[in-house]
Structure 1
Amino acid sequence: MTDQPKTDPKDLPGADPHTGQREVDPVTGHETTGHDWGGITELNTPFPKIVIWALVLTFLYSAVTWVLLPAWPYGRDYTRGLLGLDQGEMAVAGFAELDARRQDWIAQFDGAPEFEALEEDAGLMAAAMPAADRLYLDNCSACHGAQGGGGPGFPVLTDSHWLWGGDPETIAETLQAGINTTHPDTRWAQMPAFDWMERQDRRQLAEYVVALRDGTADPDGPAAPLFEENCVACHGDGGTGGLMNGAPALTDTAVIYGQDAASVSQTLRYGRQGVMPHWSDRLSDAEINLLALYVNRLSEEVSQ
């Protein structure tokens, strides 16, 4: 085995070829490496000790937590550590604690509550409405919008136009059973397809429905008999609705699928059958009643 040749200090980058000493930066007092980057001299500074200590402390912390806290998964379980912590159990315990704290007020929404009396209790409303807002965001906002503004195919909840009724009791019934669902008490509503109708007749009928909204429909025009024969049974005389059968009024701007001529023509040709899920399998009766009161208050706040 041969000895490795030693590097002559004079051969190091940045070293003086005669003395072997590197150039010293006059500002910082550090030696340079001999590299020059566009007039900027690279300093030969030592590795920061704070970084070394940070690495050491990080390693020590990871070693301690590896022993104390949950760390290694195996199969469908994992090591609990010396502290025996289980985040799943902690989450369930936290939820149970939260549920216990709200039992004193949410129990008042169970059964068949008197909604007017509940609304008059300012302290109850202060505790209940933030929870109701969370319920709405978790379960309703995806379709009806974060503020109840609705969207194509989904009703607006902030106006006074309701397909089945907007009082809290009726809203609770709709939430319980849904619309066009598998629930035995579901509300049922369907806009049939009029694809059997002549295209020209559908076009005239669509224009008539648009004119109903604008208040310019001619009751003696050629489309009036078509409307009388095919639409009045569900949408009411003059398209005013109000029959609480899931058929909207056609004289306002609250039509779910749009009331321009193209949208109405599409509806007439292919029909509509929206679905409102039933929430009785997901929410408790008290939560449904709380949510019903919240939705009712959305329209009341806008109308005030």
Structure 2
Amino acid sequence: MATERHDPATGRTTTGHEWNGIEELETPIPRVVIFFLTVTTLFAIGYWILMPAWPLGVTYTKGLLGIDQRAVVTKQVEDAAAARAAWTGRIAEASLEDIAADPALMAHVQETGRTLFIDNCAVCHGTRGTGGPGFPNLAAKARLWGGDPETIAETIRIGINSTNEETRVSQMMAFGRDGVLDDKQIRAVAAYVRSLSNLPMDENDKARIAAGQEVFAANCVACHGEDARGSTDAGAPDLTDAAWIYGSDAQSVFTTIYSGRQGHMPHWEGRLPPVDIKLLALYVGTLGEKAP
């Protein structure tokens, strides 16, 4: 008949397992472990009873509390839509000028307009509207078609060289490819144009400026004006500022004159509701401004 053995040092019984003279004690599970196991088990059972928990084919157990997360989210979305409708309704009815003069509405423009811009415009113009090669820097305030909110909204609505029937149309001629100017004339007018923005150039280009001015007067003033400040009626850029869509280095300017340019902006009419176009136009108008 087996008898219990006790460890002489601790007084605890042993399991009977022995290895190399060392016997294993019969150590009970700590009470704190049993306590937490009990609590978590009771919590799990309570949760299963009170909350939606178990899938049942095409449905699930509803729980005694009847909480439905889908209903909660639906209610939150409805509440958010109702709150948004309160101020979007005002924006839809008010003029762009009145909206711009209302700090409360402009706070919504800044918040919602930024989201709209990032979702729809940032892929070309960047998240801060600073553009990139081939895409205008909207934060520089160098507007090809004008910078007032109404004009910006119209540009967003119909696009530039887009498929909209009312689209704005703009194109830079390919003076070299089409044989209007030879390479010498193009290099001369490129030097002249770059000098208008006080860009650094070598002595050879400096010597071409006078001849380039004559080429400019004979071929470019129709769109860019005698003062080279462009035309918002034709979408011709101001050549005297620091904003260059395709680059201001000598080779980029030569390529622009030689091969021509025709940018493209999609129209957003039909893709965005009128309220969102208003929000975008007002938001774009604030790009580049310092936060108050």
TM-score scaled to structure 2, two decimals? 0.71
> For residues 259 and 39 of structure 2, what CA distance do their matches in structure 1 show?
68
In the comparison of the two structures, how many residue pairs are matched? Answer: 265
> For residues 281 and 141 of structure 2, what CA distance do their matches in structure 1 show?
15
Which runs of at least 4 in structure 1 moved beyond 6 Å after TM superposition?
A: 48-65, 215-220
CA RMSD of aligned residues (A): 4.0
> For residues 209 and 122 of structure 2, what CA distance do their matches in structure 1 show?
43
Q: 1:21 to 1:91 in 2, by over 3 A?
A: closer
Q: 1:273 to 1:53 in 2, by over 3 A?
A: farther
> For residues 242 and 226 of structure 1, what CA distance do their matches in structure 2 show?
19
> For residues 281 and 267 of structure 2, what CA distance do their matches in structure 1 show?
13
1:105 corresponds to 2:107: no
Q: 1:106 to 1:205 in 2, by over 3 A?
A: same
1:123 corresponds to 2:104: yes
Q: 1:271 to 1:220 in 2, by over 3 A?
A: closer
Flag structure 2 segments of 5+ consecutive residues without an equivalent: 1-15
% same residue: 36
AA of the residue aligned to 1:21: E
1:213 corresponds to 2:209: no
AA of the residue aligned to 1:121: D
The structure whose RCO (Cα within 8 Å, separation 6+) is larger is 2
> For residues 142 and 52 of structure 1, what CA distance do their matches in structure 2 show?
53
AA of the residue aligned to 1:293: L
> For residues 52 and 98 of structure 1, what CA distance do their matches in structure 2 show?
42
> For residues 250 and 62 of structure 1, what CA distance do their matches in structure 2 show?
70
> Which residue pairs with 1:153 in the alignment?
134
TM-score scaled to structure 1, two decimals? 0.69
Flag structure 1 segments of 5+ consecutive residues without an equivalent: 1-7, 25-29, 32-44
The correspondence of residues 76-225 of structure 1 with structure 2, limited to 5 A, is 79=59, 82=62, 87=70, 94-110=76-92, 113-193=94-174, 194-197=176-179, 198-214=182-198, 221-225=210-214
Moved more, 162-171 or 102-111: 102-111
1:204 is displaced (CA, Å) by: 2.6
The correspondence of residues 250-265 of structure 1 with structure 2, limited to 5 A, is 250-265=239-254
> For residues 247 and 254 of structure 1, what CA distance do their matches in structure 2 show?
13
